A and B are shown apart, each in its own frame.
Chain A
Amino acid sequence: MTNKVISTEKRPLINRRTWTLVIIIAAIGILVAVALAGLLMPPDAYATNFENKNQAPSFAHLFGTDWMGRDMLARTVKGLSTSILIGMLAAGISSVIAVILGTLSAVMGKKVDQLILWLIDMVQGIPHLILLMLISFMLGKGLKGVMVGIAISHWPNLARIVRAEVMSVKNGQFVQASRKMGRSRLFIAVRHILPHVIPQYIVGLILLFPHAILHEASITFLGFGLSPEEPAVGVILSESMRYLTSGFWWLTVLPGAALLVIVLLFDAIGDNLRTIIDPYSAQE
């Protein structure tokens, strides 16, 4: 999907752009690798092995082992993979909701616009974490609660972006001209509006991942998310105090740093994409 966006750009590639592209592709590569590694990992890799507990990092266990002898690297990778997949699910569902509502809001007239803005305000009116807790509470906590919660609470920002973009294009001269030429609404939407909205939309989508991942970790930390034996980053980090007090600092610092890296990778993709799509307004 991202490649297509890039290829529709007609400007010649300058050196800096190539570099940006390299960063994007490398970041995507790492993220995909982590997600796949977690998906393909057999459960035995992070199974308990009580004879092997509390080991310091070594070549056999790069991140060491925890108090039940589980390999911390395997737990971390599996957990990050889960986080990325939850992020993808959240992004997928949010994007559908956001596109539909954002577009409706922009094209269906003032009444609908007001209604949808009101809806956005309502979802954003409850602090995010509290809303996640409520949803998770309703669904009896666990993985389902986290996934549903994250998926249906992250769309408002994206919907706002879509709405603003559609709004600005809608009144643009070429759209007006196209309308005068008798083109159908659908034609205008597909040919003129969509290509304009998609770049901003994709950047917004990518930047949604870090939010989703950090929220997943937070809600799990609070005890509303995944069960303590699940390989989830939030679970590992919620065990931090145990590891830090008993001197096994690497069991929390290494997974924490790994999560940080994943979030930074998403940030990097988002920012660099923005540079490519919109070199003038992008932050340096």
Chain B
Amino acid sequence: MKTQWSKASLAAGLMSVLLLAAGCSAQAPSSSSQPSSSSAAVNIAAKDEVVVAVGGEKESGYDPCKGWGSHGTPLFQSKLLDTDTNNQLKNDLATDYKVSEDGLTWTYKIRDDVLFHDGVKLTAKDVAFTYNQTKENGISTVDLTLLDKAEATDDTTVVFHMKSPMSIFVYQTAALGIVPEHAYSDTYAQAPIGSGPYKFVQWDKGQQLIVEANEEYYGGKPPFKRLVLLFLSDDAAYAALQAGQVDVAKISENLAVKGMTGYNLVDCKTNDFRTVALPVQKPGETSEEGYPVGNSVTSDLAIRKALANGINRQKIIDTVLNGYGDVAYTVSQGLPWDNKDVILTDGNVDAAKQILEEAGWVDTDGDGIREKDGQKAEFSLIYASDDSTRQSISMAFSEQAKAFGINVITEGLSSSDRTPRKHKDAFMLGGGDYNPTPVINALYGAYAAKGGWYNIVAYKNATVDQYLEAAIAATTQEEANQYWQKAQWDGTTGGSILGDAPYIYIANISHLYFVRDGISIGEQKIHPHDHGFAVLGNIMDWGSVK
């Protein structure tokens, strides 16, 4: 399971975010009692150890400078800012922060009482080191290209000098965990030291991560002495639940409906979208990584538009996801930087057929698949072979596309095998976050087929790029939001389904957990795309209940 281009920081903070209802709702009747963690902590039957099957593993390790925890849950490390359950930014390490009028200088004041797990004090130097290191590495999902340099002016003040204004920088500070300069090395990712609520103890690759409470944590006493995070497939997690060997487990929507005695089903709302990425260029070019770019069928706008119109998103949610999801037309459905005008009639097969016919795609040989200039309306859709949800969404997508004459050949591949094909075939991607970075990651021309999972469709639209750059350079969030919206659709062009339709968004899928009776996972934040770790985002609110 790979993180595919959802990027950086959580939360909506500075701008007035629509309160997206409560993030989670427990469904089983037995979950009527969900007391706050403070009362739970008093409970005598408190458990010392909690076993959580989180799903995906961060294979490259736990180094924030290389991308760990960028969805807001570094666990071992702490960040300058954090987000609350309403996705408002709040102080974490920072006590205060401000940006200069010209947007070129950000100044953060930090706490004076924070210790790393090895007992050494965390200072502004460590913060500056972390940011400079991340920028230098350049391989983190936290993009700091616009940062010139970070410097510590005293032990508690760090100043970030920007090359040019960067409106989304504040979200990056809610994404990047701080590493200790004195204990940072090439092997840091394998055994991290930080200042977060839990200390690293042991990592057995492909199996489990064992962490212990940091009793010195400045944010209070962590609820459990020890957490064991298991990396199990959906099926194995369900088996482990049946055998009673885990306390909290992420499960797929198919297994969720079966229920589980002794466990509550918790349905967490997310901004974790599933989308079909359609290569927009004609074949011919090769990416820097040496992978072919472009697809002769999906590069036709009519094909992409037909899919955008003809796919019935609600039906996919009802039948495939068993209702555990919400329809999404855009990268950030319902968020302040989302363009509300981007909407279509869901499942409009007639419109799809009309678009195809007008563009010259007709079924001449009677096999049910349209052709144009001897080219069949046919392309491959790649999904992660170990993700049954992506598989079934892909197959439902294919089933629906066939109804209006497009043959979508689904193909499940392991991580190393899908990478070489990311620019030439359609992809079932996941992503989504509570800040505008997914918009730029998906559409920015400078990211086109540059490696990683940003803009893999190689979408380049000069007008859209201008809007994106203007949004980044904006000095107020309101101004930025306007540009984010225009980048999607300005009335004539844009990177949404109304414009060039490089991505067909389908749904924001719910994250489902079975939680053992007697354990509360608190009020969850609205989850970003994260492969399972987001459930730990509010770990300090977890507790035992009776």
Contacts and interface: CB of A to CB of B under 8 A. Distances in A.
The yes or no verdict on A and B being binding partners is yes
Interface of A: 47-48, 50-51, 53-54, 67-68, 140-142, 223, 227-229, 239, 241-242, 244-247
A112 B349 CA distance: 67
Contacts of B412: 227-229
A242 B235 contact: yes
The range of chain B's interface size is 20 to 34
Given A47-B399, A223-B386, A241 B235 contact: yes
Interface stretch (B33-41, B102-110, B301-309, B390-398): B390-398
B236 A241 contact: yes
B324 to A, nearest CB: 14
B396 A228 contact: no
Contacts of A246: 238, 254-255, 258
Contacts of B319: 50-51, 53
A142 B414 CA distance: 10
B417 interface: yes
- Which secondary structure dominates where chain B touches chain A? helix
A67 B385 contact: no
26 contacts: A47-B399, A48-B392, A51-B319, A67-B388, A68-B392, A140-B420, A141-B413, A141-B414, A142-B413, A223-B385, A223-B414, A227-B411, A227-B413, A228-B412, A229-B394, A229-B410, A241-B239, A242-B234, A242-B254, A242-B255, A242-B388, A244-B239, A245-B239, A246-B254, A246-B258, A247-B258
Contacts of B396: 48, 50, 68
A67 B254 contact: yes
Given A228-B385, A229-B412, A48 B254 contact: no
B391 A229 contact: yes
A247 B396 CA distance: 24
A234 to B, nearest CB: 12
A49 to B, nearest CB: 8
B509 to A, nearest CB: 15
A228 B395 CA distance: 11
Closest CB pairs A-B (n = 4): A50-B319, A228-B412, A241-B235, A242-B235
Nearest to B395: A48
B235 A228 contact: no
Nearest to A70: B395
A241 B410 CA distance: 23
Interface in B159-209: none
Contacts of B413: 141-142, 227
A93 to B, nearest CB: 24
A246 to B, nearest CB: 5
Given A67-B254, A227-B412, A48 B235 contact: no
A140 B235 CA distance: 26
Contacts of A48: 392, 395-396, 398-399
Contacts of B420: 140
Nearest to A68: B392
B242 A229 contact: no
Given A50-B396, A241-B235, A141 B258 contact: no
B399 A229 contact: no
B356 interface: no
B320 interface: yes
A48 B412 CA distance: 15
Interface in B384-426: 385-386, 388, 391-392, 394-396, 398-399, 410-414, 417, 420
A246 B251 CA distance: 12
A227 to B, nearest CB: 4
Nearest to A244: B239
Nearest to A241: B235
A67 B386 CA distance: 15
Contacts of B239: 241, 244-245
Contacts of B386: 223
Interface string B223-239: 00000000000111011
Contacts of A53: 319
A245 B245 CA distance: 14
